[in-house]
A and B are shown apart, each in its own frame.
Chain A
Amino acid sequence: MEPQDKARLDREFSELYRSHLRDVYSYAYYRVGNHHDAEDLTEQTFLQAYRHFERAQAESHGRPLRPWLIRIAHNLAANLYRDRSRRPQTPIDATTVLSAMHTTEDLVEGRDELARIIAGIKHLPEERREALIMRFALGMDNREIARAMGKTDGATKVLLHRAIKQLQEIVTVP
């Protein structure tokens, strides 16, 4: 690779980093439920993205790279859970992850409905939770979510619809 090509690649990677650091961190935080692991996950995501950036750019054909970044974070998070599940001294239960995300005081400020929604999200199957995080925390559209999750646009639309419906049912049940 010529030096000027390398410089261009680094410049473009810096732009990607600046544009999506908050997205990756938000995804990581809602996925793992604490700042410490979210920081590790974010760092590892960008380091891995840096290694494979040239290939990803060539294969993206000009499409946005955010789904690719989130997919890296998704895979790393899955590895984190898998590794921890092998170590009984530090158990991590996926259903407890979201309960650690917010304290009622620091985010919802006494708003009961928000608190019920946050509590309800943890009862959703993992795939539905992920889809909701991508849609509502990151503002991704169906196509982006589909690419990040390796699904078709149609399957993603159905997944989101069912996730919202199930969450509404959970939240409205007294």
Chain B
Amino acid sequence: MSEMAHTDFEQMLRMALAPIDPPDDLKTRLEFTLQELTDAAVDELEGWELGAMRDPRNWVRPVVATAVGATAGTALVIIRVRAQQKKRAAAARNPLDLVQRTLRAAAGEARKLARRD
């Protein structure tokens, strides 16, 4: 086939495989979902107020949000870290020690999740 015919054929292929615009409802749905994920991350960090930090039950979420960047895996890390919170509290010598243990556990779970991905 000549060079000209080859070019024409590629032009026809380009027309046959024209880009397809995504439907508007897909855009709306996807942007909403992505916005929700982004907002969840911001909320985690904004909610980390000093007053709330007096209660050890409030430590896990912000710690995890900071450690893993509040990606889709955040919820899983929170569940795993919370599951062991009582055991850590019993083993901790003081509140600072408990914070350090919780941080280490969150980082460990985040690493496990990252390796699994």
A residues at B contact (CB < 8 Å): 1, 3, 5-7, 9-10, 13-14, 17, 21-23, 25-26, 29-30, 35, 38-39, 42-43, 46-47, 50-52, 54-55, 107-108, 113-114, 117-118, 121, 132-133, 136-138, 164, 167-168, 171
Question: Which size bracket describes the interface of B in this complex?
Answer: 35 or more
**Taking the nearest CB of chain A, how far is it from the CB of B77, in angstroms?**
13
Instruction: Verify A25–B71 contact, CB threshold 8 A.
Output: no
Instruction: Verify A50–B37 contact, CB threshold 8 A.
Output: yes
Residues of A within 8 A of B23 (CB): 35, 39
Looking at chain B's contact residues, is the secondary structure mostly helix, strand, loop, or mixed? Answer: helix
Instruction: Verify B69–A47 contact, CB threshold 8 A.
Output: no
Residues of B within 8 A of A42 (CB): 22, 26, 30
In the complex with contacts A25-B26, A26-B20, A114-B15, A164-B9 CB distance below 8 A = yes
B residues at A contact (CB < 8 Å): 1, 6, 9-10, 12-23, 26-27, 29-31, 33-34, 37-38, 41-42, 45, 66-73, 114, 117
Q: How many pairs, one residue from A and one from B, have CB atoms within 8 Å of each other in the complex?
A: 99
Instruction: Verify B34–A46 contact, CB threshold 8 A.
Output: yes
Looking at chain A's contact residues, is the secondary structure mostly helix, strand, loop, or mixed? Answer: helix
Instruction: Verify A168–B9 contact, CB threshold 8 A.
Output: yes
Residues of B within 8 A of A114 (CB): 12, 15-16
